[in-house]
Amino acid sequence: MKKAQAIIYNSNEGIPRLLAKGRGPGAEKILALAKEAGIEIVEDSVLAALLDAKVRPGDFIPSWCWEAVAKILAFVLSKEEE
């Protein structure tokens, strides 16, 4: 089953949060909204499975995911600067 999450980073908080997550049709909705908004989509099935199982929307991303999320955020920011 397809899984998708939306992560948000506010520099005032210093730690990213899980904004939304979904499976199946919910995942498709998240992806469609991201595409419509021009938001970069990054696929990481391992991180997606971990976030799906362990993190609720609104929660901060746990420290054991920071490295993977930091790489994704750096990639997204580099794409926005192009």
Three-class DSSP labels, the chain: CCEEEEEECCCCCCCCEEEEEEECHHHHHHHHHHHHHCCCCCCCHHHHHHHHHHCCCCCECCHHHHHHHHHHHHHHHHHHHC
pLDDT of residue 7: 94
Does this model's pTM top 0.75? My answer is: yes
* Residue 70's CATH number: 3.40.1690.10
Domain range holding 42? 3-81
pLDDT of residue 82: 74
pLDDT of residue 78: 86
What domain count does the chain have? Answer: 1
Q: What is the pLDDT of residues 48-59, one digit of tens each?
A: 999 999 999 999
**Average pLDDT per consecutive 10 residues, the chain (82 residues; last block may be shorter):** 92 94 96 94 92 95 93 85 75
pLDDT of residue 61: 96
